[in-house]
Amino acid sequence: MSHTLEQRQGGRGQRDASPVAALDADAVRAAYKRWAGVYDTLFGGVSSFGRRRAVSLVNRLPGRDVLEVGVGTGLALPHYRPDARITGIDLSAEMLEQARKRVAESGLRNVEALLEVDAEATEFADASFDVAVAMFVASVVPNPRRLLAEMRRVVRPGGNILFVNHFAADRGPRWWVERAMAPASRALGWHPDFSMEAIFAPEDMARAEGEPVPPFGIFTLVRLPN
């Protein structure tokens, strides 16, 4: 069952909305240039549940024009419904090269474009898409709030914005591990200690619905009506 993010937080106080170690576009490009050739092997399995759950929700939502933000190597692309019109964007040319190979090898005719674009500052017209979905991207971009604002701009009123992401634990062993890893953010290319408050304002937390996804509920699928 989905709950609002505010309910999932259980009324806990707001945490610092700023990531511990800032990322920039060059750090992200450098990290994913390293990861591109091995990304599917290292991360494809653990992320597959979240990707499939997100695409399944996209396929049930109204509208055909879909923006996949941070399309990466295109792991999710084969799972969209055939009548959808998919545009994928990513900051990494190397990851996009893998995605284009996947599209060609799989004959995916519903993928209209794969573009090297900064997700925080696209050149799409306002209200270009029915759905924008970002899978494992929110903790990668330099300015998560700017990412959300841009997704809002390019999605039509009444459309949907989706995220699948790891969000930091509030307590317990995982809390310590995430914060111990935080200084390595630039090398990793993502924030291990990324909090929901880093991207969602309080009014978003009250409106957005979230549900845990496997494995072990370490990722969360979020739907925010636009």
Q: For 3-58, write each residue's pLDDT tens digit.
A: 777 665 554 444 444 444 455 666 556 555 555 555 554 465 566 788 999 999 99
Q: Which CATH superfamily is domain 17-225 in?
A: Vaccinia Virus protein VP39 (3.40.50.150)
Do residues 201 and 207 touch, judged by C-beta distance below 8 A? Answer: no
Which amino acid, 131?
V
- Residue 7: what pLDDT? 67
Q: Are strands 65-69 and 3-4 parallel, antiparallel or unpaired?
A: unpaired
pLDDT (tens digit, 9 = 90+) per residue, 91-146?
888 989 999 999 999 999 999 999 999 999 999 999 999 999 999 888 888 899 99
* CA quadruple 107, 110, 113, 116: dihedral sign: negative
Spans of all domains in the chain:
17-225
pTM: 0.80
Q: What is residue 162's DSSP assignment?
A: E
Q: What are phi and psi of 211, to 5 degrees?
A: -145, 145
Look at residue 193 and tell me whether its pLDDT is greater than 60: no
**Residues 6 or more apart in contact with residue 160 via CB below 8 angstroms:** 61, 130, 131, 132, 223, 224, 225, 226
Report residue 2 as tokens.
Answer: 């989905």
